[in-house]
Amino acid sequence: MTDAPILEAIALDKVFRVRRKGAPHDIHALKNVETQLHPGETLGLVGESGSGKTTLARILIGIEEPTRGEVRFEGNAVRSAEGWRELRRQVQYVFQDPFTALCPTMRIGAALAEPLAIHGICPKPERKDRVAKMLGLVGLSADMAGRLPYQLSGGQRQRVNLARALMLEPRVLICDEIVSGLDVSVQAQVLALLVDLQGKLDLSLIFISHDLRVVRYLCDRVQVMLLGDTVEHGPTAEVFDDPQHEYTRKLLDAIPDRDHAARISKSALQYG
Amino acid sequence: MNETMLDTGCGPRPARRTGYLRRHEIGPGLALGGVLVLAIVLITLAAPFLAPADPYAPNLMSVRQPPSAEYLFGTDAVGRDLLSRILYGAQISLIVAGLGMLGSLTFGTLMGMLRGIGPRWVGPIVDRMIDIQLAFPYVLLAIAITSAVRPSVPVLIVLMVLSGWAGAARVVRAIALQESGKDYVKAAQIIGASRLRIAVFHVFPSVWPSLAVLAAMQTAAMIVFESTLSFLGMGVQPPTPSWGGIMLEGKNYITTSWWLTLLPGLAIMLTSLSLVLIGDGLDLRAKRLRQRAAQT
Amino acid sequence: MTAPLLAIEDLVVSFPSNHAPLHAVDRVSFALKPGESLVIAGESGSGKSLLCRSILGVEPETAKVAGRLDWKGKSLLNLSVAQWRPLRGAEIAMIFQDPTAALNPLLTVGRQIMDVVRAHRKCSRNEARSRAIEVLGTAGLPEPEHRLTSYPSELSGGMRQRVAIALALSAGPELLIADEATTNLDVSIQAQIVTLLHDLRSKLGVALIFVTHDLDLAAEVGGELLVMYAGQPVEMGPVDTVLADPCHPYTRGLLRSAPTARSSRRTPLRPIPGQAPKLGAVGDGAPFRDRCPVLISGLCDRSRPGWTEAGPSHRVACHRFEQDGRDGLT
């Protein structure tokens, strides 16, 4: 990638202070982590629980504050509340759990129109059309606007969450484990939708997942994290086919693999 | 995996809700409380038509008459008709309690929301205020205040708000804190919603059902509180009848004329009891409706 | 031929409703011998969890279980609490998706395991203790003797799931049911637990029912595979045979929708369109008909397909396969 990065994390440190059995002690969630997202690319953040990938993503959108380091958007450091407000017009975030990320008392249409109202983007009478258009874009029918979240299935809710994040026409979308709560067939629908939207809307994506199969499928570049450190990063194919770090290798070996398993089961594991 | 009805193991309930009450999850307690409160309110509104006599007109020819066909509830120490006084007293008692409830609920909700989603530094301040309020002997406060200013209905309502807001604030605080930790509040933040917007459009709707429960409970508490203060002579001033005041006037004759204290006491009890029935019923109804929503 | 431990035939779990009863598990049959494993694959609403619960007699109260459900030749239907006691936890044990739900947060790990040991076998505290250390070791918990005094909250998610497994193993069960037991765990821990389950089968001869929605993981676990859709079994056979040669349109759809360890964007995913039917909406036809690419109209919406042989011990319930064989599928 030769273009300048659109979103960058520079030397991020995050320390959580927790009190456990009296004495306070520090947990280093991130240790001097750097990340760069270039326009149009999909970056995968990979790692197991406690690796700091979600903390990193939350710092990038400003709902978590770093202990040290800074976030840069189009080369400029984001420091003020005004700066974060600006950033969030261009960078949006989709949460993992489709069941808690939607306000339970707000109708879908109102939830989708809200970003427009907040930023005063389009005149009130046109909002309804914009909402209907967006619902169509994520593959939902326009009559969904009148429903409440509990009337929707998990996959439909995740589509609504995507739609809401896209209402502001952001350039960057951060997706935090957005398919891990979904059934396999629904997961495929949402992944296909994401690929489709990325092409149509010229989005850059940060895709966080613990499922390496999904990351390999979707991402151009991966960053592998372990206990708050980046242990390896590079183009997806390179990292997956020729991992340099031992941890990456271990992680790749642990991926359930139907072809690999079939070979083993023929040789060693014949029961019954 | 995302859990559905089947995987969590809750099968659909056999759907046999046919009546209006069943469909809306209105239990027997809520229905009874509702009917009673409705009746009490209607009777109170109709007091001028129902009262057999002028509640202020003494009749020294018939003082402290026991209940009889002529005086259904008997008469008091200066011969006023007790039924009329209780009916007119209901107007005063219910209005004062209602205003006290509205005031304490409004203030309590504001404080609770402020604690739940306001800036971080207000948290400890609101918490301490609630602690102090809950530990405060407000009857003593009432005595102190009314010894400084003349007791009147506005003073009484201020006292009620002071005594009742913390209960509401605690409930609202708990819900607001719980909701504000959820992803959808963060999601609203990310699309740029202000704190006020999040409070009004996202968190408050979750608080709302509990406010209905609180309103019923608070009104019951306020009726008792008004009666207590009036009984202590610090509430509604004679000759205006209020339930506590009527009991105060009758307390000297408690050994000989039981009806002077018992009948207004029963009015207080019946009213607050039906309000509590409504409160509990609404609480149960909210739970049932949530369950039902979770099943579909 | 050893006799099967568990034999299930035409098992139906239904919920009463205003109209006809709603079948959440519809005519499932299989048998399991010691050391064998059965993987049940399906998505939410497929009835796989309910099926497992019914085996242990812990289905929801409103559910009605019918059919044959035999454990060592004796029926498990309509047992009393006293009749269940020597079976549940002792001969048949279950591991749930959420280990915190299976563990008491107020008791130490050791205490909980020892309680289970002593509930099912007469033995001294010391014997129970050494048994607890043994099962914790079997479950792959490092330094088991030090873990006895830990509380569940002091352990990580993976460790907690191992304790839950140890708890399930403590009474020496002959059948272990794992309901999405590795779904929320990191891949490396998931791989370790799958290895552990292999060991239990080969070393202790424990039979295993493994419920998952991940067909790659099913391949790692091995044994027989039962694919369920909307409460009905749609395909059954040895895991590697079924995955190498899936013969039901739903199984094929599932395999195409999940990215594998090697796929990239150049091989686009082909999701199954639509949504799984609601409980009771299946009616008489083939359960997959609304999303099926090779539907035979007039047949699939009228009658439920029976089993067709697709190979040795590989069976498929599909009208299209019955008519046209593999050529009929996309």
Q: Search chain A and give the residue with CA nearest B295.
A: A150
Q: Search chain C and give the residue with CA nearest B17.
A: C18
Q: Report if residue A124 sits inside a domain.
A: no
- Is C183 in contact with B1 (Cβ distance < 8 A)? yes
Cβ-based contacts under 8 A for chains A and B: 70
Span B2-18, average pLDDT = 42
Structural domain span for residue A180: 7-98+173-267
**pLDDT exceeds 60 at position A265:** no
- pLDDT confidence band for A263 (50 / 70 / 90): low
Which of C155, C225, C240, C266 is the best mutation test for A, with the most CBs of A within 10 A?
Answer: C240
Candidate from A184, A256, A262 with C-beta closest to C240: A262
Tell me, yes or no, if C22 comes closer than 8 A to chain B by beta carbon.
Answer: yes
**pLDDT exceeds 80 at position B292:** no
Classify domain B27-50+82-295 by CATH number.
Answer: 1.10.3720.10
- Is C17 in contact with B14 (Cβ distance < 8 A)? yes
Domain count, chain A: 1
Average pLDDT score, chain C:
87
Tell me the nearest-neighbour CA distance from C59 into chain B, angstroms: 7
pLDDT tens string A150-178: 888 888 888 899 899 999 889 999 999 88
**pLDDT exceeds 50 at position A46:** yes
pLDDT tens string B188-204: 988 888 889 999 999 99
**pLDDT exceeds 50 at position A271:** no
- pLDDT confidence band for C40 (50 / 70 / 90): very high
Residue spans of the domains in chain B: they are 27-50+82-295
- Structure tokens, A97: 């759990």
- pLDDT confidence band for B5 (50 / 70 / 90): very low
- Give the CATH number, domain containing residue A201: 3.40.50.300
pLDDT tens string C152-162: 888 877 788 88
Candidate from A154, A260, A269 with C-beta closest to C222: A269
Query: Using CB atoms, which chains have 3+ pairs under 8 A with B?
Result: A, C
- Is A272 in contact with C268 (Cβ distance < 8 A)? no
pLDDT tens string C197-215: 888 888 888 999 999 988 8
Query: What percent of chain B has pLDDT above 90?
Result: 35
Tell me the nearest-neighbour CA distance from C134 into chain B, angstroms: 32
pLDDT tens string C47-77: 888 899 899 888 888 888 999 999 998 898 8
Tell me, yes or no, if A253 comes closer than 8 A to chain C by beta carbon.
Answer: yes
Lowest pLDDT segment from B241-250, C131-140, C166-175, C180-189: C180-189
Q: Report if residue A164 sits inside a domain.
A: no
pLDDT tens string A28-43: 888 899 999 999 899 9
* B151/A1: higher pLDDT: B151
Span A73-78, average pLDDT = 88
- Is C53 in contact with B9 (Cβ distance < 8 A)? yes
A223 within 8 A of A45, measured Cβ to Cβ: yes
DSSP class per residue in chain B: ----HHHHT-PPPP----SHHHHTT--HHHHHHHHHHHHHHHHHHTHHHH-SS-TT---TTS-SPPS-SSSTT-B-TT--BHHHHHHHHHHHHHHHHHHHHHHHHHHHHHHHHHHHHS-TTHHHHHHHHHHHHHHS-HHHHHHHHHHHS---HHHHHHHHHHHHHHHHHHHHHHHHHHHHTSHHHHHHHHTT--HHHIIIIIIHHHHHHHHHHHHHHHHHHHHHHHHHHHHTTSSSPTTS--HHHHHHHHGGGTTT-THHHHHHHHHHHHHHHHHHHHHHHHHHHHHHHHHHHHH-
Cβ-based contacts under 8 A for chains A and C: 144
Span C102-130, average pLDDT = 87
pLDDT, residue A264, reads 52
pLDDT tens string A226-261: 988 999 999 998 998 888 999 998 888 888 877 765
Which of C155, C186, C217 is the best mutation test for A, with the most CBs of A within 10 A?
Answer: C186
Span A106-134, average pLDDT = 89
Span C124-144, average pLDDT = 87
Tell me, yes or no, if A251 comes closer than 8 A to chain C by beta carbon.
Answer: yes
Span C241-255, average pLDDT = 91
pLDDT tens string C290-324: 888 888 888 888 888 999 998 888 999 999 999 88
Tell me, yes or no, if B181 comes closer than 8 A to chain A by beta carbon.
Answer: no
Span B137-159, average pLDDT = 84
In degrees and rounded to multiples of 5, residue B257 shows phi and psi of -120, 80
Tell me the nearest-neighbour CA distance from B17 into chain C, angstroms: 11
Tell me, yes or no, if A133 comes closer than 8 A to chain C by beta carbon.
Answer: no
- Is A250 in contact with C43 (Cβ distance < 8 A)? no
**pLDDT exceeds 60 at position B285:** yes
Tell me, yes or no, if C86 comes closer than 8 A to chain B by beta carbon.
Answer: no
Residues of A with CB under 8 A from a CB of B: 61, 63, 85, 88-89, 92-93, 95-106, 114-115, 118-119, 150-151, 154, 161, 164-165, 167-168, 181-183
pLDDT, residue B2, reads 39
Tell me, yes or no, if B56 comes closer than 8 A to chain A by beta carbon.
Answer: no
Tell me the nearest-neighbour CA distance from B286 into chain A, angstroms: 14
pLDDT tens string B166-193: 999 999 999 999 888 888 999 998 888 8
